[in-house]
A and B are shown apart, each in its own frame.
Chain A
């Protein structure tokens, strides 16, 4: 309960404390006047709440996942969205198994395997990049992040090759249920990898210029979590679309 309410309290205090005339303490009013008494009460409450919020903040940090709450909310929402798409894909596969069997036979499985390996390698590079940054090795970290960006670009190029292959065979979005869902799911994932690669590029620039270092790297961690989320989603899409 305490950890949940510390932030609003702290926010309220920052509004009341510096701006409110009562917060100036003894400067404007005698402690014996009603305003002075209020000022003292306000001051005492402020210090009490500040010390309480500090304890709450420690609890909050212990509970906070790596990269912060916000990115994990994004991770769960994205996983739920993709899971819904995957389940629709499976249900549609039940209603038209022949179209799905034919569709799967037309997919390029070796490229999909290569893409899986590439994304996992990117995840490894990013994990090492964050690990290096935490130890204060900025140059090493920027190299790992650059390698992760390279794997992201390689994934995008291979995926574009796969799409071009389909289009050259006259297969497009909306041709049948299988390929409509295939393009929807993999295209949506493609957009996420592209966004993650852009994010990582911004992080790489930040690490390279010294903006992110051992003591300040939450943004890099959050971007890393987003990057790994792309891995996680692909690990669900790969068997469902290509292997089953």
Chain B
């Protein structure tokens, strides 16, 4: 469990560094995909949604996808 946490933590740090390096209006899609991936990793691993009923994972991911999708559309406009 703690080993998986560590791998997820490293992945989160790498994703943050990656989105920081590509940040800007040209890479808006990639930055938001990285944010979505990070949120998914935090939700599934750190918040332990993997152990809960699937409904909770779906509800959280639906909300995050909705928000990031709207941010993407507004950013593109």
Task: State whether A131 touches B2 (Cβ < 8 A).
Answer: yes
Among residues of B, the one whose C-beta sits closest to the C-beta of A63 is B53
Task: State whether B32 touches A232 (Cβ < 8 A).
Answer: no
Distance between Cα atoms of A146 and B52 in the complex (Å): 27
Q: What's the minimum C-beta distance from B46 to chain A, rounded to whole angstroms?
A: 4
| Interface size band for B | 35 or more
Q: What's the minimum C-beta distance from A78 to chain B, rounded to whole angstroms?
A: 11
Distance between Cα atoms of A83 and B5 in the complex (Å): 27
Task: State whether B52 touches A120 (Cβ < 8 A).
Answer: no
Task: State whether A228 touches B52 (Cβ < 8 A).
Answer: no
Task: State whether B46 touches A231 (Cβ < 8 A).
Answer: yes
B interface secondary structure, majority: helix
Task: State whether B49 touches A239 (Cβ < 8 A).
Answer: no
Among residues of A, the one whose C-beta sits closest to the C-beta of B20 is A113
Tell me whether A183 is interfacial, beta carbon within 8 Å: no
Q: How many A-B residue pairs have CB under 8 A?
A: 122
Task: State whether A244 touches B67 (Cβ < 8 A).
Answer: no
Determine which of B28, B34, B67, B74 lies in contact with A91 in the assembled complex, contact meaning CB atoms within 8 Å. Answer: B74
Among residues of A, the one whose C-beta sits closest to the C-beta of B57 is A65
Determine which of B5, B19, B74 lies in contact with A124 in the assembled complex, contact meaning CB atoms within 8 Å. Answer: B5
Query: Interface code A157-182, partner B: CB below 8 Å = 1, 0 otherwise?
Result: 00000000000000000000000000
Which residues of A sit under 8 angstroms from B58, Cβ to Cβ? none
Distance between Cα atoms of A80 and B60 in the complex (Å): 11
Query: Interface code A213-236, partner B: CB below 8 Å = 1, 0 otherwise?
Result: 000000000001100110110011
Among residues of B, the one whose C-beta sits closest to the C-beta of A84 is B67
Query: Interface code B37-64, partner A: CB below 8 Å = 1, 0 otherwise?
Result: 0110011011111011101100110011
Task: State whether A117 touches B23 (Cβ < 8 A).
Answer: no
Binding site for A on B (CB under 8 A): 1-2, 5-6, 8-9, 12-13, 16-17, 19-20, 23-25, 28, 31-32, 34-35, 38-39, 42-43, 45-49, 51-53, 55-56, 59-60, 63-64, 66-68, 70-71, 74-75, 77
Binding site for B on A (CB under 8 A): 62-66, 72, 75-76, 79-80, 83, 86-87, 90-91, 93-94, 109, 113, 116-117, 120-121, 123-124, 126-128, 131-132, 224-225, 228-229, 231-232, 235-236, 238-240, 242-244
